[in-house]
Structure 1
C-alpha cells in the first residue's frame, strides 16, 4: 500500500492538510525565444478580469488547507500593476498561512520598482526569484529578454534596500553564441552580489519555441556538449568556492536558504496549483487546469470547473515519480523512506538497475542513501530512463 506523508495541523478544532501553493500569472511583456511555459504577450486587456477570477479560485480552493509555501510564477508576476498585485496578495493573505511560510514571487528585471516591492513586503512576500539569465547584454538581447544587466542590478539593490533578505537569481548556460568564459564571468559577477540562492539551468530546446524553429533550420549556434559540460563543472566549482551548497542538480544556496517550495515538488509532496495551466498533486491525483485565459475567466464566473486533465496515479506512477524527482536532489533517495512510503524494499523493484548503475559509476550507495555521482549527474537523463517500470 502507498504511504504518503500527510501533514495535518489543527486550527479552530478542524483538521487541515498542509500543502504548498502555486499561483500562475500567464502574462509577459515579451515572450522569450526559449520559453515553452504557458505565458503570453499582448494579452494585457485580460489581466484585470483574470486576477478577479484567480482570486475566486484561490479563496474557494485554498481555504481548506494550511499553506506552508507559496510560489507565484509565470509569465511575469511582477508585470502586474499595483492594483492587481494588491488584490492578488490580499486574497492570498486571507488563507491559512503557516507562521514560517516561504512566500516567493518571480520577478523580471525592469519590472520592479519601490511601489510593487513595498506591496510585496506588506503582504508577507519574503523571497524574490529574479530571472536574470546572463550578465552579458548581447546574450540577453539574443535570447529575447527585455532588460539589460544594469536594470537587473538596479532592481536587485532596490529590493535589498526595501528589506528583502532572501533573493534567488536565475542563470542559464548553453545559450546560443555563449562562450565558456562568458559563463564564468557571469557566475563570478553574480557571486559578488551575494544572493542567497542561485539557480543555474542549461538551455533545453523545447518544441513550439522560436529557438526550436531556428534549431530545426540549423540557424542556432549552440555550445558543444564538451563546452556545456565544462560550463556545468565551472558552475559547481565557482559557486562552491563562494559558499553555495548544491542541493539539487541546478540549484545552489547559502546555508539555510534552500527553496522549500521546490523541495516539495522533488519530494513528491502534495501541492495545489491555481490559475491558467497550473498543475496540482492532491490525493494521488495529478490535475491540470485549462490553458485558455478567456475560457478560464468564463468558467470561473459561471462556477464551472477549470480542470482540464485529471490523472489518478497508480503505484507504478508513484514509484517512478519518486525516483525521478528524488535523484534530482544531491542527497538522493533514502532506502528506509522508500520502504516507509511504498511498503516495499527498493531492491525488490530495482535491484538489477541499481547494481548496473553503481557498477557503471553513475550511482553511489552510502549511509542508507542512493544518489547520483558527478558522472551520473551529467548523464542524469540516461540514468533516470533506467528507472522507468515496464
Structure 2
C-alpha cells in the first residue's frame, strides 16, 4: 500500500531567476480556485483507482504552496483530509513556504489543517544576494516568519540554503551559516546552485554575464557546510540534508528508499504499484485532462526489474546510511554483488564507496562526487 503523498501547488508571486520548477505567476484568484477544483478531481480518481493505506507522510511543494490565501488554504487542506482520511498517529505533514507569503492567520490555518512541518525557502541571509537571485523576501522577513511559525505551534522547521550563487564568496556563505545556526532550528537543506535551461540565469550564463564562483570555491563552500553542521550537532543524513536526531525528513526518505508515493498536481511525478507516472505540466492541459479523464497523466510506464535496482542504488546512495545488501536481496531476489559487482569493485577501489557491515555507502571523498558515482550504476559513463 502507498503511504506517502506529494501534492504540487504551482503558483508563485514571482519567478526566481534560477527556478525551473513548474510554477506560474498569477494575480487571478479564480485560476487558483479552478486549480484546486482540478486537484480535488485528481485526488478523488487517484484514491478510487489506487486505494491508500494509512498515510505516514504528506509533502506539499511548489511553486509556493503558501501563495494560497487563507480561504484557499483551508479549502485545500480540507480536500486533502477528505480524500486521504487515514493518517498515522505520527504523520509528518510538510508544506513548503516562502518567508514573504506567511502570516499568523495562514500559519494557524495550516496547523489546524494538520500541517506539522514547514520548510522555508530562505536561500541566503545576505539581502544583496537575495535580490540578485530574484527572491521577494529579505532576512528580516525570514526572522519574522520563523517567529510566527513557532508562535503558531511549529517546532519541526527546516530552511533551505543555496551556495555557489553569483558573486558569492566562501566568507559570504559562512556568514549565512552563522546566522542560520543562531536560529536554533532542527533541520537544514543546502544545495549548490544549478544553472538550468529556461531560466533567466541560463540566459545570462550563455551571454557570459553570470559571475559564478569557481569550482574550487564551490567545493570549499560545501566542505565548510559539512564541517560546520557536524560541529553544531547536525547529522548529515543525505548529501544535501542535515538534522538533529529525530528530525530527518521522513517524506524524502520515501524517495531515497525507492518506495511508493502518490504524485498529485500539475507536473507531479508519482510511483505506485511498480508504475511511474508524469502529470501534465501546463495548467490548462492539466485541468482539461482532470475533467476529461480524471487522471491528468501524460506519461505512465512500468518500471522494469533492472530499472528498479538502478533507481534503488542511485537514490539509496544519496543517504549517508547507504544501501543495505540484505534489504536489496530481499526486495529483488539477487545480491548487490551479483547485479553490480564490477561497478562496486571499481568504486570501492577508487575510495568513493565503502562497506560498513551490511551497508554500502559513499565515503567522505565520494560525497562531493556523488553524481559521477550514480552515473556509473546507470551505465552512463565508463569510468569516474
Q: TM-score, normalised by structure 1?
A: 0.93
Q: CA deviation at 1:304?
A: 4.2
Partner residue, 2:17: 33
CA distance in 2, matches of 1:273, 1:304: 14
Q: 1:383 deviation in Å?
A: 1.2
1:117 matched to 2:121: no
Counterpart CA distance in 1 for 2:248 and 2:104 is 26
State whether residues 320 and 389 of structure 1, in contact with CA within 8 Å, keep that contact through their aligned partners in structure 2. Answer: no
Equivalent residue for 1:363? 353
Q: Can you list the C-alpha shifts for 1:120-176, whole angstroms capped at 9, x where unaligned?
A: 111111000000000000000000101101001100011111110100000000111
CA distance in 1 between partners of 2:202 and 2:306 (Å)? 32
SS at match of 1:213: helix
Separation (CA, whole Å) in 2 of partners of 1:98 and 1:44: 36
Question: What is the Cα deviation at residue 296 of structure 1?
Answer: 2.0
Q: Supply the distance in 2 between the matched residues of 1:184 and 1:235 (Cα, whole angstroms).
A: 8
2:168 match: secondary structure: coil
Q: Contact (CA 8 Å) 2:276, 2:301: kept in 1 or not?
A: yes
Tell me, in whole angstroms, the C-alpha distance in 2 between the residues paired with 1:52 and 1:352: 51
Q: Does 1:61 align with 2:62?
A: no
Matches within 5 A, 1:1-390: 17-42=1-26, 44-45=28-29, 46-62=31-47, 64-65=51-52, 66-94=54-82, 95=84, 96-389=86-379
Q: Partners of 1:304 and 1:259 in 2: how far apart? A: 31
Q: Distance in 2 between matches of 1:248 and 1:304?
A: 36
Question: Cα distance, 1:59 vs. partner?
Answer: 3.2
Alpha-carbon distance, 1:299 to partner: 2.8
Residue segments in structure 2 that go unaligned for 5+ positions in a row: none
State the alpha-carbon separation in 2 of the partners of residues 147 and 161 from structure 1. Answer: 20
Kept in 1: contact 2:2–2:272 (CA 8 A): no
1:389 to partner: Cα distance: 4.4
Q: How high is the TM-score relative to the length of structure 2?
A: 0.95
Residue 13 of structure 1 is matched in structure 2 by none
In structure 1, stretches of 5+ residues that fail to align are 1-16
SS at match of 2:246: coil
Check whether the contact 1:27–1:44 (CA below 8 A) recurs between aligned residues: no
Distance 1:234 1:380 in 2: 17
- Asked if the contact 2:60/2:94 (under 8 Å) is kept, the reply is yes
Regions of 4+ moved over 4 Å: none
Check the 8 A contact 1:168/1:197 in 2, yes or no: yes
CA apart distance, 1:298 = 2.6
